[in-house]
């Protein structure tokens, strides 16, 4: 990231560390293959916009909670739906924003050793872990999430732990969609890691 040298890396947070690796607003280096540049830019742009749109789900969550508190405390008329709406929308935002979080380094990390490695070493570590662990796990979760959502849709499943009993297939579908977006962002991160492992710098 511009404005930081290698000695500063240990002092910055994971979000700033991730920003050194590109994003939709970052011009990919000229020595990156044109196809790789196009893929990274397209994926990062999708993740960025999905994250921004999903962030808007906080608005109906807040409105539902405020309505519930007012109705319950002032009018002694608690709702049947406010809690279900809030937990469903929160779950959807959590899953659908996973790709955005990965791109911006917002997942929990423990980089106190990693951040002091040479960039080539960082790239090699990320590349191996993305290919060996991340991608297989995401493919497994995608298949499981798809089956989970399809079964819910076909059954017209409703929440069994709620008096309101809302349909739950939108939430379960968001699991599969969120994993697909996370898997897609993983492709972008693999390309960035490959570049770092071979060039000795992150594509900023």
What distance in Å separates the CA atoms of residue 163 and residue 158, rounded to the nearest whole number? 10
Asked whether 163 and 100 are in contact (CB, 8 A), the reply is no
The pLDDT, as a whole number, for residue 12 is: 52
Domains of the chain, by residue range, sit at: 32-199
Q: Looking at residue 107, what is its pLDDT?
A: 80
Mapped onto helix, strand or coil, the DSSP state of residue 167 is: strand
Please provide the DSSP assignment of 54-111 as one string.
HHTTHHHHHHHHHHHHHHHHHHS---SSHHHHHHHHHHHHHHHTHHHHHHTT-S----
Buried b (16+ CB within 10 A) or exposed e, 27-61: ebeeebeeebbebbbebbebbbebbeebeebeeeb
Residue 150 confidence (pLDDT) = 97
Contacts of 118 (CB under 8 A, 6+ apart): 200
The predicted pLDDT at position 23 comes to: 72
Rounded to two decimals, the pTM is 0.86
Which of the 8 DSSP states describes residue 12?
Answer: S
State how far the Cα of 101 lies from the Cα of 98, in Å rounded to an integer: 5
In angstroms, how far is the first alpha carbon of the chain from the final one? 7
Measure the CA dihedral 61/54/104/139, to 10°: 110
* pLDDT number for residue 162: 86
Q: What is the pLDDT of residue 7?
A: 47
- pLDDT at position 19 is 57
Burial class (CB in 10 A: 0-12, 13-18, 19+), 111: middle
pLDDT of residue 188: 96
Kindly give the parts of the chain with pLDDT less than 70. Answer: 1-22
Looking at residue 24, what is its pLDDT? 80
């Amino acid at each position: 990231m511009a404005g930081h040298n290698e000695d500063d890396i240990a002092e910055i947070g994971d979000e700033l560390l991730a920003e050194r690796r590109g994003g939709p607003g970052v011009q990919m280096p000229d020595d990156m293959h044109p196809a790789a540049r196009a893929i990274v830019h397209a994926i990062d742009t999708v993740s960025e916009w999905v994250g921004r749109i999903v962030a808007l789900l906080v608005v109906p969550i807040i409105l539902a909670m405020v309505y519930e508190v007012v109705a319950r405390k002032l009018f002694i008329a608690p709702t049947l739906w406010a809690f279900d709406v809030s937990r469903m929308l929160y779950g959807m935002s959590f899953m659908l924003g996973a790709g955005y979080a990965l791109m911006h380094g917002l997942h929990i990390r423990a980089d106190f050793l990693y951040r002091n490695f040479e960039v080539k070493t960082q790239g090699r570590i990320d590349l191996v872990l993305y290919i060996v662990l991340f991608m297989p796990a995401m493919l497994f979760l995608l298949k499981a999430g798809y089956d989970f959502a399809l079964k819910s849709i076909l059954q017209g499943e409703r929440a069994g732990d709620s008096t309101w009993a809302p349909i739950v297939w939108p939430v379960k579908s968001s699991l599969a969609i969120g994993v697909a977006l996370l898997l897609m962002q993983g492709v972008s991160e693999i390309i960035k890691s490959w570049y770092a492992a071979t060039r000795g710098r992150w594509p900023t």
